[in-house]
Structure 1
Amino acid sequence: MACSSSFLHLLAALLALASWQAIASVPSPLQDFCVADLNSPVRVNGFVCKDPTNVTADDFFKAAMLDKPRDTMANKVGSNVTLINVMEIPGLNTLGISIVRVDYAPLGLNPPHTHPRATEIFTVVEGTLYAGFVTSNPDNKLFSKMLNKGDVFVFPKGLIHFQFNLNPHKPAVAISSLSGQNPGIITIANAAFKSKPPISDDILANAFQVDKKIIDMLQA
């Protein structure tokens, strides 16, 4: 029970911290809430508001999404990301916040990626992780840290970042809050080598300064 209580307290603290960050990037709501009408054909920046007379407590609730370990062996990088955003909780619409659980297998990686619409505040719940982010051109400076249980690290909005479980025997878990109801994610490898249709191998070979055969192998 003590472990469960501390876990809930950690979640509450992370949500509170992210809500302060949201002030800088998301306009203040003009009403108490604007529950997303995910079925509306109207397209706006965010989602159309559901009729307030049809709003219920369930629009602000998602049961047992972050309390259980996730399968980390389903992909080759050995991680599993569980995102709770406006698509999962329509009541998050216009509130500028979401939350993520990341499970890591031993030596599991959350590969280099960006969130184009959110800053992230990241806390290790179990295990030890090596985490870092890279600044924009022209410096491309790497800021990285070894993170242990309870440690907190911030990934600035839009910058490439990653986490890696250094332990070859034990899994790791982290919780993040993000300053956006739908922060988005761009995995760098997928964007470069798995676009549809694919980016020309001539372009990628020149960009990465490698032989086209290597590009063909990566795209495959």
Structure 2
Amino acid sequence: MAGNTSNKQGSAVTAVNVAQIAGLNTLGISLARVDYAPYGQNPPHIHPRATEILTVLEGSLYVGFITSNPENKLFSKVLNKGDVFVFPQGLIHFQFNYGTNKAIAIAALSSKNPGVITIANTVFGSNPSISGDILAKAFQVDKKMKGERGL
């Protein structure tokens, strides 16, 4: 079934891992269906315990991952129906539906419990909050800049 994409990201991830199917225990695999509204995205995130292979079932996606320090090189590509892309374990990656139609993808992951750490939610949504001074210095912005949540 299609996920509800009427949210700020315009995407829905429906996970199929050991939490949903106990029979996956010890098998080292899981899946996720990702639905994207037009211009929806699966924002930058990592899977600390799994490599991901993404297959586009419908629509087109701009996808990419960034290597780790010191290179921080972006590897990206536009994928169409039937195309496949691999995101190495632990690297920041994303998907964006740049089209005016919905898109659907299936992600296969090399762990029964791959985990997900969404970068912006983690950094800006921690409880307690990370000090605005630390965030301003890390992102090289003026602390006086304020977004929806502010620094």
The Cα offsets for residues 128-162 of structure 1, whole Å up to 9 and x where unpaired, read as 00000000000000000110000000000000000
Correspondence for 1:93 among 1, 8, 25: 25
- State the secondary structure of the residue aligned to 1:203: helix
Question: How does the TM-score come out when normalised to structure 2?
Answer: 0.96
Aligned residues: 150
**1:124: how far off?**
0.1
**1:93: how far off?**
1.1
Question: How does the TM-score come out when normalised to structure 1?
Answer: 0.66
- State the secondary structure of the residue aligned to 1:207: helix
Radius of gyration: which is bigger?
Answer: 1
The Cα offsets for residues 71-102 of structure 1, whole Å up to 9 and x where unpaired, read as 101x2110000001110001111111100000
Question: After TM superposition, what 4+ stretches of structure 1 lie above 4 angstroms from structure 2?
Answer: none
Correspondence for 2:136 among 184, 205, 210: 205
Which residue matches 1:192?
123
Which residue matches 1:144?
76
> Which structure shows the bigger proportion of residues in helix conformation?
1
Which residue matches 2:67?
135
**1:218: how far off?**
5.0
- State the secondary structure of the residue aligned to 2:101: coil
Which structure would you say has the larger RCO, counting Cα contacts within 8 Å and 6 or more residues apart? 2
Amino acid at match of 2:102: P
> Which structure shows the bigger proportion of residues in strand conformation?
2
CA distance in 2, matches of 1:183, 1:102: 15
Q: Structure 2: which 5+ residue stretches go unaligned?
A: none
Report whether the alignment pairs 1:217 with 2:147: yes
Report whether the alignment pairs 1:177 with 2:108: yes
- State the secondary structure of the residue aligned to 1:192: helix
Which residue matches 1:44?
none
Q: Is residue 109–residue 163 contact of structure 1 (8 Å, CA) maintained in 2?
A: yes
Q: Is residue 116–residue 183 contact of structure 1 (8 Å, CA) maintained in 2?
A: yes
- State the secondary structure of the residue aligned to 2:133: helix
Amino acid at match of 1:174: A
Which residue matches 2:3?
70
The Cα offsets for residues 113-140 of structure 1, whole Å up to 9 and x where unpaired, read as 0000000000000000000000000000
